[in-house]
Amino acid sequence: MTDRLRIALAQLNPKVGDLPGNLALARTALADAVAARADVLMFSELFLTGYFPDDLLFKPQFVRDAMQAARDLAADTAGTDVVVVLPTIWWDKNGLYNAAIVAEKGEIIATRFKRELPNNDVFYEKRYFTAGPLPDPVTIKGVPVGIPICEDVWHASVCEHLAMRGAEIMLCPNGSPYWTNKQHIRKELVRARVAEDDVPMLYLNQVGGQDEIVFDGASFAIEPGNKLVVQGKSFATDFIVSDWVRSDDGWTCANGEVTELTTTDEAPWLACVLGLRDYVHKNGFKQVVLGLSGGIDSAVVAAMAVDAFGPENVHCIMLPYRYTSEASLKDAKDCALNLGVRYDIVSIGSPVDEALEQLAPIFGDRPADLAEENIQSRMRGVVLMAVSNKLGSMLLTTGNKSEMGVGYATIYGDMNGGYNPLKDMFKMEVYRLADWRNSHVPGDCLGPAGEVIPQAIIEKAPSAELRPDQTDQDSLPPYPVLDAILKGIVEDELSLAEIVAQGHDVALVQRIERLVNIAEYKRRQSAPGPKLTPKAFGMGRKYPITNGYKDRSI
């Protein structure tokens, strides 16, 4: 039995379903572990398949291929002194498991199965996996090591069982998504387990975007006495090596590096940039295109795109009509110049007017209304999709959570696009981040420093500019009020009476609730975007389109 262990945590960015690509990442990490003279190398949850594979798990060939990839990596440990802890799927006669295999000297020496299967708004593991028994420790280099997998540490029984069975160190692989304050929530959870069991825990989380989920990494280790001894990078890949020494008081970290976490101000921007970058790149695109209207939302999306891909890979297009103001034309151009992107102007005047002329016999003498306004938005969508198709760029859409909440968006128009970075961000947060980005260049972002979003865009009243002198507040309450009501309805699931008790007008609350309910069909057809809160539209909040429920609390 050794009294020293060098443990490497591979905080990497796998791609769901890409077994060869993920295996290649694992092999590179194994080589890095050998070079670092590590005793143990751990990967994040379901690393080989990517987290989460959803109904790929129903494909028997996918299961067979994944298990073979795991055996291939296990074989690669031959001729090394590294013990690999590889989370992956594993099948036996009792079912399919979310598992971790332990490999040494070219052989699989142990398998452990996840006991507690989450069944919440993001991951429905009970749909796919069989729950494992309470796991026993695995002997690694003579040391009894517990391997609780992700959700297992949220339930005291698993770690308690491992400690009672003699585990001296806990290695916990995770696929834990980001949302606001999630990094601190994880730490408090692990602190509780360490305090209860008096055993140090190394918590490894994956990093990267997968459809609507963003994994923020930020792996760490805590030892008894509430000591944070290791902290990995946030929103970036990392290879974290730490030395652990046994004494009469148990295992302690001899030389862990603690990297400063991203701030709560910076984290939402980095989450959106990482989610956008991975969605575009993992789906085979290199460039993006978007409509730049001179408004706050498209300006912020353009800045995020430049941070994700660099200005040379971002194409912005202004699509004016007769109601587009001179201020919007100037602001859009200034924003494009600040960001250094390609900027084109494509007028939609002639095609919109031609459409209205052709529709006149059908519309008759009915007064102009949303039908005419939506033709403008849909014509912009047609032009942007044409550019996307012709040039091979992914179209980004730019609606925020406030607008999507009440349906203040045109389906098949400004909702067109493959990805929406602002989908889970209320309007006032968009403004806050615009101000923040103008004074910060965060993380590994590729955009310029300084004022990237013109102050005129931040200060002016928002408008769709679909009719003369239009502003958003013609149809909606001021955004601070709207966001507060939407937070009550969407984020907090409050009754209407509870929201009114916060000081909001009864009729307004009832109107907003109605708008939220009738816009569900639009949201079902909206582009995916990064999940920043527990109640993101789509993965975090699933309401029926046809819905007869009425809140009668007021």
Bind-site residues:
176, 182, 291-298, 374, 398, 403, 522
Catalytic residue among 15, 104, 114, 487: 114
Catalytic residue among 104, 116, 125, 150: 150
- Provide CB contacts within 8 A for 349, sequence distance 6+: 320, 321, 322
Catalytic residue among 45, 116, 168, 513: 45
241 SS3 class: strand
Given 3-state DSSP classes, what are the helix, strand and coil percentages for the chain, each rounded to the nearest 5? Answer: 40, 20, 40
188 SS3 class: helix
Type and span of the H or E element at 161: helix 156-164
Q: Which residues are annotated as a binding site for ATP?
A: 291-298, 398
Give the Cβ contact number of residue 234 at 10 Å.
Answer: 25
- Provide CB contacts within 8 A for 451, sequence distance 6+: 338, 438
Type and span of the H or E element at 74: helix 60-76
Q: Which residues are annotated as a binding site for deamido-NAD(+)?
A: 374, 403, 522
Phi-psi region of 326 (alpha: psi -120 to 50; beta: other; left: phi over 0): alpha
Q: 57: exposed, middle or buried (C-beta count within 10 Å: 0-12, 13-18, 19+)?
A: buried
Q: Is 335 a catalytic residue?
A: no
Whether the CA torsion 67, 72, 75, 80 is positive or negative: it is negative
Q: Which residues are annotated as a binding site for L-glutamine?
A: 176, 182
Q: Give the CA distances from residue 296 to residues 24, 312, 400, 454, 459, in Å, rounded to whole numbers and listed in that order.
A: 41, 22, 10, 9, 9
What type of residue is 531? K
Rounded distance between C-alpha atoms, residue 146 and residue 168, angstroms: 7
Whether the CA torsion 320, 323, 325, 328 is positive or negative: it is negative
Q: Which two tokens stand for residue 9?
A: 């945590």
- Provide CB contacts within 8 A for 525, sequence distance 6+: 411, 415
**DSSP one-letter code for 252:** E
122, 109, 241, 252: which is closest to 178 by C-alpha? Answer: 122
Q: Is 498 a catalytic residue?
A: no
Distance of CA 259 to the CA centre of its chain: 22
Q: Is 114 a catalytic residue?
A: yes
Half-sphere exposure at residue 372, Cβ-oriented, CA atoms within 13 angstroms = 22
Are residues 319 and 347 in contact, defined by beta-carbon separation less than 8 angstroms? yes
Q: Which two tokens stand for residue 216?
A: 């923020």
So which residues are the catalytic ones?
45, 114, 150
